A and B are shown apart, each in its own frame.
Chain A
Amino acid sequence: MERGAEFPHFGSRHAKSSPAPRLVLPVNPNSNIPDFITNIDTNNANANLNVDANANANTSNGNQRAHPCIIREQDQYMPIANVIRIMRRILPSHAKISDDAKETIQECVSEYISFITGEANERCQREQRKTVTAEDVLWAMGKLGFDDYVEPLTVYLNRYREAENERNNLRVDQLPYVGFKRSMDYGPVGGPPGPPPYGPGFPMAHHPAMFDASAMGGGYHNGSGAGGSSSSSAGAQNSGLPSFDPYAQFK
């Protein structure tokens, strides 16, 4: 039976685990795991690590902590559905995965996170820094033998940073035709020098430095004019640009 992420019971998993929950209890002075590890939001289908310390205090599924000292299973491990999905990417379609294999890999992922984070954290403490950065994490991976991961992760991180910069740097004044003829029909994308086809809801999707949004795990969605992540281009979509003169820079 598939072990769901919603069960509040702790069952046989805890009987099998080592006495001290690996991620959460602050009993091991040698592994000062940052608090975010204790708050992995399993309600988030993308398995993003939740930085908010109170996120799990009130879960949407209504689970309550049975006892202040008991760690919920879903707080210790990555959501199993996500783990399984990633496994299936690797395996041929005819392959089957036993339940205990799934759970084992799920536990291994959590241990991996603890392992890397502990090392990164130690480095920060040695250097008397309070913030564990992405570089620390990458350094820890290299040090612990996961060199093969470092390069693809660095590429990914750089692309992510560039996408963030683009998002942050795109200002309304950099868009030559924003606000012009908002009621126009959609036209060709790409902003050649000419009347703009940036109608409402049409994101600035053709900036040359932009990467595929889906690869970045979110961001620009074609046609979703109200998307929060398109904040910089939202200016193009909102009907309120009262004092903007699109041709100011051409005067």
Chain B
Amino acid sequence: MKKSGDNVNVISGEAPIVFVNACELFIEDLTRRSWMVTMKGKRRTLHKDDVVSAVMATDIFDFLVSLVSDSTNHLDLTTVKRGT
């Protein structure tokens, strides 16, 4: 899987350290927002649809829109997506 060529970069030893914590922050952020959707629906189980709603509602998660809607997702995006 190793790419070869001029565009191969090296990553410094500290960058993964940043990523480890960043991933935690990201998961916490997304979970928190998703849970808020769950609570609004007066439910106790966090479903994928809640995650999708959270993604749609958050600008910085726009890069995830195509990812979460790629899979078998029956939500109508025009109704879920808030104005952007």
Contact = CB atoms under 8 A, between A and B. Distances in A.
Contact of B25 (A130, A144, A149): A149
A62 interface: no
Contacts of A138: 18
Nearest to A75: B1
A95 B44 contact: yes
Contacts of B52: 104
Interface string A82-115: 0100110111001111101101110111011101
A243 to B, nearest CB: 33
Given A91-B31, A108-B30, A100 B48 contact: yes
Contact of B47 (A86, A101, A156): A101
Size bin of chain B's contact surface: 35 or more
Given A34-B9, A95-B45, A125-B7, A90 B31 contact: yes
Interface string B8-35: 1111111111111111111111111011
Summarize B's interface: helix, strand, loop or mixed: helix
B14 A111 contact: no
Given A18-B70, A98-B46, A111-B64, A86 B31 contact: yes
30 contacts: A16-B70, A17-B71, A22-B67, A35-B1, A47-B20, A49-B16, A53-B1, A53-B2, A71-B1, A86-B27, A87-B28, A95-B46, A98-B46, A101-B34, A101-B48, A101-B51, A104-B48, A105-B51, A108-B61, A112-B22, A112-B23, A112-B63, A125-B7, A125-B9, A132-B12, A137-B22, A144-B63, A146-B60, A157-B17, A161-B14
Interface of A: 16-18, 22, 24, 26, 32, 34-36, 38-39, 46-49, 51, 53, 71, 78, 83, 86-87, 89-91, 94-98, 100-101, 103-105, 107-109, 111-113, 115-116, 120-121, 124-125, 130-134, 136-138, 141, 144-146, 148-149, 152-153, 156-157, 160-161, 217
